[in-house]
Every structure is written in structure tokens, then in C-alpha cells.
């Protein structure tokens, strides 16, 4: 298991710290839905469908004259992760992710145009190899665009965190007298789009950083400082910010700058996919020549 950047500054999968995994986007994958999209981020694979705007099914949504009510349901396939957890844990995680996505697009969608109606988003997680929240938000954004829902801007998400620059292995003796390897890390590097292995590093190793805060040693663990940022790229407005630990302000600013680089890269791919699909529709309807 790789635990740090290589001497040439590359991560285990060959990416540089500021590089995201390969992005693949496809719109209108389910014609029966009002909008649908497929989003791949490396091995992470998500499909999103949108139904609406349509008549609200709940009384609270029907009397909401200020705008539409957005709901989101997330479902993970049992084979989506290598570690097969209990079904109730999957359901809880999916429910929290669904609430996060609904709140995110409640701010981004022009809900005032769809009073007394509901917009329902369904997310299917086929493969989870890290940064699943970002992939789900990006897939939902493309599905809403495919459904013709008016939004203020694209909503693009990406994660950022820290990884060790160098490592050293120490021999330690545990309570039973057996000698074990204790891996220590020194020096942290900000990275974007963490895969599942990078995210799980903190569960298997101990960390010691000597250059996190102005050269003073601190106990910040390498991958506990993960943030997921959802942003409107054109305006630079942050819609959602999810943190997995408390970070110093200086480190938070660094992670935000790294996440913004990843967001810009993913936004370019998403915009190209939307443009390609739009030209295909225009060509199919005869508005432009082949």
C-alpha cells in the first residue's frame, strides 16, 4: 500500500497532486426520465435521473407558493464498494447524501419558477472508489440540465485533502513484547479528488507532521482533513462545504484553493459533454447540418 507521494511527486495512481481522475460524462442515458446523466470519476460510477417539475405529492410541497421542493433519493448497489457493510449502514449514508444533494440544489435551482411543484432526483451508485459525494452532485447537475431545469449556474463538486510527502518506518514494541512496524509521515502535500485508498490511509497508519503550521509540529492526520466543495464555477459562489475534521484556517484556505482547481477541471469536462449533447440534438432535429 502506497502511503506517500513518490520521489517524482506522483501519487500511487500516477496523478500529480492537482490532477483529478479521468472524467466521463453522458447525458440522456434513460429516455423515460425527464432528465438523466451518467458520471464517471475514475472508477467511481454514478447515474442520476430527474423527474419533474411535476405536481407535488406531499401537502407541504403543494402549498409552497415560493418555489419548487427538491427531493433526492440515493441508493448504493451492494457491490459498489470492496468492503461490504451492513445494509442499514448503507441506508444511513445514502440518506445523508440525499439530504446533502437536495439542500445543494435547493440553492442552485431557480425554484421560484416552479411554484407548488416538486423536482425529484434519484441517484444510483454503481461503483464507489472515493469522492462519491462529488460524483453524485456532478451527476445530479448534469441530469437537471438534461431535464431543462433552470439553474443559476453549473454546480460542480470536488474533494481535497492532504497526503504525505515522505515516510519512515520505525520498529516499536507493543504490550505483548512483539515488534511491529510503525509508519510515520513528515511533510504534507495538498491533493484533489482523493480515491478510496487515499481516503482510508488514516485508518491504517499514524502520522506526524512537522510543517503544517509555520513549522510547528501538530497532530493533524493526513487524510482526516478532507473537504468536499460544491461551487458555481462562473460566479465562484460556494454552495456546499463538507468537512470531515476541524482544520486551521490557513490549511482550510489551501484546501479550498486545491479544490477550486479540481472543480475548474471537472467543469470543463461537464460543459463539453453538455455542448456535445446539445449539438447532437440540434443535428437530429435538422437545425444544423451533419
Beta strands in 28-116 (DSSP E): 35-41, 44-55, 69-76
Q: How many CA atoms lie within 13 A of 191 on its CB side?
A: 29
* Domains in the chain: boundaries: 23-169+184-204+217-285
Residue 85 parent element (H or E)? none
Extract the residue ranges of the chain whose pLDDT is less than 50: 1-3, 202-223
Tell me how far apart the alpha carbons of residues 157 and 138 are, in angstroms, rounded to a whole number.
Answer: 6
Do the beta carbons of residue 209 and residue 185 sit within 8 Å?
yes
pLDDT in tens, 205-246: 434 333 333 333 343 344 457 899 999 999 999 999 998 777
Q: Which one of 3.30.499.10, 1.20.950.20, 3.10.400.10, 3.30.230.70 gives the CATH number of domain 23-169+184-204+217-285?
A: 3.30.230.70
pLDDT at 205: 41
Rounded to whole angstroms, the Cα distance separating 270 from 26 reads: 9
* CA pair distance 21, 44, nearest whole angstrom: 10
Amino acid at each position: 500500500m502506497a502511503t506517500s507521494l513518490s520521489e517524482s511527486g506522483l501519487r500511487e495512481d500516477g496523478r500529480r497532486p492537482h490532477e483529478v481522475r479521468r472524467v466521463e460524462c453522458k447525458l440522456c442515458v434513460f429516455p423515460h426520465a425527464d432528465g438523466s446523466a451518467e458520471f464517471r470519476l475514475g472508477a467511481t460510477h454514478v447515474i442520476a435521473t430527474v423527474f419533474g417539475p411535476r405536481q407535488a405529492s406531499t401537502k407541504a410541497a403543494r402549498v409552497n407558493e415560493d418555489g419548487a421542493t427538491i427531493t433526492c433519493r440515493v441508493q448504493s448497489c451492494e457491490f459498489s464498494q470492496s468492503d461490504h457493510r451492513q445494509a442499514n449502514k448503507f441506508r444511513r449514508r445514502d440518506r445523508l447524501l440525499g439530504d446533502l444533494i437536495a439542500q445543494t440544489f435547493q440553492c442552485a435551482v431557480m425554484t421560484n419558477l416552479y411554484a407548488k411543484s416538486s423536482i425529484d432526483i434519484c441517484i444510483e451508485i454503481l461503483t464507489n472508489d472515493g469522492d462519491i459525494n462529488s460524483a453524485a452532485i456532478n451527476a445530479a447537475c448534469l441530469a437537471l440540465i438534461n431535464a431543462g431545469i433552470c439553474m443559476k449556474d453549473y454546480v460542480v463538486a470536488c474533494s481535497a485533502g492532504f497526503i504525505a510527502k515522505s515516510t519512515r518506518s520505525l520498529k516499536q514494541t507493543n504490550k505483548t513484547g512483539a515488534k511491529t512496524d510503525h509508519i510515520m509521515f513528515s511533510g504534507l502535500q495538498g491533493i484533489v479528488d482523493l480515491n478510496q485508498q487515499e481516503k482510508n490511509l488514516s485508518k491504517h497508519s499514524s502520522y506526524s507532521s512537522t510543517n503544517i503550521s509555520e513549522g510547528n509540529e501538530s497532530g493533524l492526520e493526513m487524510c482526516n482533513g478532507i473537504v468536499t466543495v460544491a461551487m458555481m464555477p462562473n460566479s465562484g459562489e460556494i454552495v456546499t462545504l463538507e468537512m470531515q475534521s476541524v482544520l486551521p484556517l490557513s490549511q482550510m484556505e489551501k484546501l479550498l484553493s486545491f479544490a477550486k482547481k479540481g472543480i475548474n477541471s471537472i467543469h470543463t469536462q461537464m460543459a463539453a459533454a453538455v455542448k456535445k449533447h446539445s449539438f447532437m440534438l440540434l443535428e437530429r432535429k435538422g437545425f444544423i447540418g451533419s
